[in-house]
Amino acid sequence: MCALPLFLSARGAEETVFCSGCRRDVAVVAWPALERSPARVPLPQAVLAGEAACFSCADKAATGVCEGCGCFTCPACEAEWFGEKLCLTCLHARREVNADPRFSHRLLLHDNIALLLLLLPLLVIPVYGVFFSFLASPFALFLVIRHRRAPRGLPPRGPWRLLLAGTLAVLLMLGVAGGIGTAIYALARLDDVGPIPEPGMIEEFEGGFDDVPDESGEGGGPEVPDASDLPSSSPEAGELKEEAP
């Protein structure tokens, strides 16, 4: 919206006013807090002899006690959070160090990150995305294991995302590793079988495998005529004789 001031007459009731900036009707409800002036924090006073001084500002008079650690605080070093009066050190410790969910203001959702790592490549690149998901699966599994006990948001969310991400990562790794293993095994078997026969070689076996000579040398294959059996006039005999040592 345009941030132009709107003039309202009622408090706590809905009012529709026309905004001349947006040129639209705006339904507004204003509450008494709109008219209340913001609470003013009193300025810290200089400490006098015999008075308690602020723990952080030694020259300022203490006006309160931290409910977390019990140290004296001046108005500038005191913060109120959900009814508790805390010094700034305790506030920082609760928000950042201890990550108290009541004090947390930002949280990384590791279960969702793990799930996104696995699913996003599949959604962006439908088939080949599996490869990228496989590459991401160790990271996803690491996130699942590393942050399995981390808080999953202020409004509680079930563990199903974490379980799904872990299962998917393991299945992807096993599936792709299995696929690679099968491919290597198939290649190895192909080497055992020997070279792929050429078309000419296949024609020689057209008569069937029964023609292949066995160990005793009997049977099998079309008989190759001996050079001496051929008539001397035949051209084949001449060629054979020439080749003989």
Q: Counting contacts by CB under 8 A, is residue 90 touching other proteins?
A: no
Applying CB under 8 A, which part among 52-60, 109-117, 127-135, 206-214 lies near other proteins? 109-117
Q: Which H or E run includes 12?
A: none
Distances (CA, A) of 213 to 17, 217, 223: 104, 6, 10
Site for other proteins (CB under 8 A): how many residues? 41
Minimum Å distance from CB 122 to other proteins? 12
Pick out residues in 7-66 that bind other proteins (CB under 8 A): 8, 11-14, 19, 22, 24-34, 36, 38
- Closer residue to other proteins in complex, CB, 156/194: 156
Closer Cβ to other proteins, 6 or 88, answer by number = 6
Q: Report the chain's terminal Cα–Cα distance, integer Å.
A: 105
Residue (of 155, 166, 31) closest to 102 by Cα position: 155
Q: How far is 93 from 103, CA to CA, in rounded Å? A: 10
8 Å CB contact between 193 and 185: no
The one-letter amino acid code at 21 reads G
Instruction: Indicate which single residue of 46, 69, 145, 154 sits in contact with other proteins (rule: CB under 8 A).
Output: 154
Residues 87, 56 contacting (CB under 8 angstroms): yes
Entry field: residues in the chain: 245
Among 7, 48, 58, 105, binds other proteins (CB under 8 A): 105
Residues near other proteins, by CB under 8 A: 1, 3, 6, 8, 11-14, 19, 22, 24-34, 36, 38, 82, 104-109, 112-113, 115-116, 123, 153-157, 161
